[in-house]
Structures are given as structure tokens and as C-alpha cells.
Amino acid sequence: MPTSAMREPQEISAVLSAGKALSIVEVLLQSPEPLSAREIGERSEVNRTTAHRLLNTLILHGWVERHPEGGYRLSVKFLALAHVSSQVRGLFEEIRPALAPLSELSRETVHVGVLDGFDIVHVDKIESLEHVGVSSRIGTRGIAHRTSLGKALLAASDDDFIRAYIAQGRRRKSPYTIQSDEVEQIWDEVRVTRTRGYGLDDEEDSVGVRCLGAAVTGMGGAPIFAVSLTGPSPRFTREVCERLAPTLLVVTGDLSRRFGGAPGGVPGPDSDGRHDDN
């Protein structure tokens, strides 16, 4: 029979392996495209040999699959589990108590958004308490770099993701097209958003509407979703946004801690200061 002293290193090893496997799953969750073992290892900070071993284990148990054209992606089994989970325990149901004070303080519409591939999608909201608010629909898709939700999520992503976002935008049709003269503007906005912790849509997505958004992050600082306050620009002025921003950051920081992330933690720019997108 193994002694407790013998079991302890084995248990520690099992915990570390589980943590690394979950890091790999989180990386695959964030990627719209299949990833190679090298890419997965780099993004999850797991060495390539260990990444291969854990990927094979996840494949064996049906959670990950090899893409026919190469690379790895999450399997249908994982997607089915996510669907069942969303039916049993809705995300918005879990975070609504944290967002209610934002609604009461601002009296504006509170939105929750996620990145679906490279597009921002509104997944839930709390209506404005004012008689006249901003009309919106759940499921609406938007252009990430023109919305406060999208700006916050882009800023919370690493530079490789932003490069991929810009590259796909250069190939897409209007209104999602990213023109050459917009590339530096996007990077500038990312830097500003990372510095202050929140994104501001100053009537860029829709004239007459102003939005203030901040990201909620998980393990490793990866963005999960973003929360925004949205109101008519004559009432929801820049001054009001600046006044409400600290409260929004406290709320998203608390949610980030709850989801295993660090409040206000966003990736910094590349060490050489270049982004090579032009």
C-alpha cells in the first residue's frame, strides 16, 4: 500500500496535469481555427511534449479531435456539454446580481457581449431604467473595433489575436472591412484601452449612441466576455462615462476574480514594440 508521503507527489502531479489540460482547453475555446500542437503549447505555456501527451489524452476521452486539414479543435462532445450546461445554468443568471448595481447607478442599458470568431455578439442585457433608452436585440452582431465591448475584448486578447483580427478584416466585405489606414488606429485604440482598462465607443458604431465597456477575464488573463453601459450620447456624455468607469472596472474586476482571472489584467504589447500588420 502506498504511504501518504508517496501519494502526495502523485497527487500534486495529477493536479498540475489537470491544470495544464484545462489551459489547453481554454486555448482551443478562444481559437476560431484549429491549432497545431506547437501553437497550443505556446499559447497555454505548456511544453510541446506535454502538450502532445495531454492532447492525445483529451482525444482518447473524446474532448478534442484532429481537424481533417491539420491541427486540433474541440470535439462535438465538448460542444454538446457546453449546450447542456448553458441550458442548466445560464451565464447571465449567474452574473446578473453583479450587474444589477451598474444598471441602478447608470440607469442605462447594460449589455453582455462575447467574441464569436472575430465578431462581437450581444448575448444578454438589462434594459435602461430611463423612459428613453437605446434599443437593441440579443444576438445582434457587431464590428469589434467599433464597439466598446469589442474594444475591451480585443485589448484583453494577445497581440497575435489582434493581428489575426486585422488580417481577416482586410479580407472581408463591408461593413466588416478594415482599410489600410485603420490598422494603426486599431492598434492605438488597443493601447489606450489596455492603459485605462475600458473601451469607449464614442458614437463610432451608431451615431447618437455612446458605450463604455470592460472585459472579464479568466485563467491566464484570457477574455471571457465583456460588460458595457450604453446610452443616448446627449445624456450619456463622456463626462458621465468617466465618472462611471471606475465602478464598471470594480464590477468586471470582481467577476474576473470569480472566473479565475486577474482584475484589470490585459496583455502588454510585443517586446519589440512592432506589430507588422501593414
Q: What is the pLDDT of residue 268?
A: 43
Q: How far apart are the first and last CA of the chain?
A: 64
Helix 159-171 × helix 183-196 angle, to 10°? 150
Q: What is the pLDDT of residue 90?
A: 65
Tell me which architecture the domain covering 90-258 has in CATH: 2-Layer Sandwich (3.30)
pTM: 0.67
**Domain 4-80 CATH class label:** mainly alpha
Span 78-89, pLDDT tens digits:
666 665 555 545
The cell numbers describing 40, all together, are 497550443
d(CA 8, CA 33): 39
Where in the chain does DSSP place strands (E)? 64-66, 72-74, 109-116, 119-126, 141-143, 199-202, 209-217, 223-232
Q: What is the pLDDT of residue 13?
A: 61
- Does this chain's domain 4-80 share its CATH topology with 90-258? no
134 touches 230 (CB < 8 A): yes
Domain ranges of the chain: 4-80, 90-258
Instruction: Give me the DSSP letters along 197-237.
Output: S-EEEESSSSTTEEEEEEEEEBGGG-EEEEEEEEEETTTS-
The cell numbers describing 87, all together, are 441550458
**pLDDT less than 50: residues of the chain:** 1, 3-7, 88, 265-274, 278
Span 60-70, pLDDT tens digits:
888 888 888 88
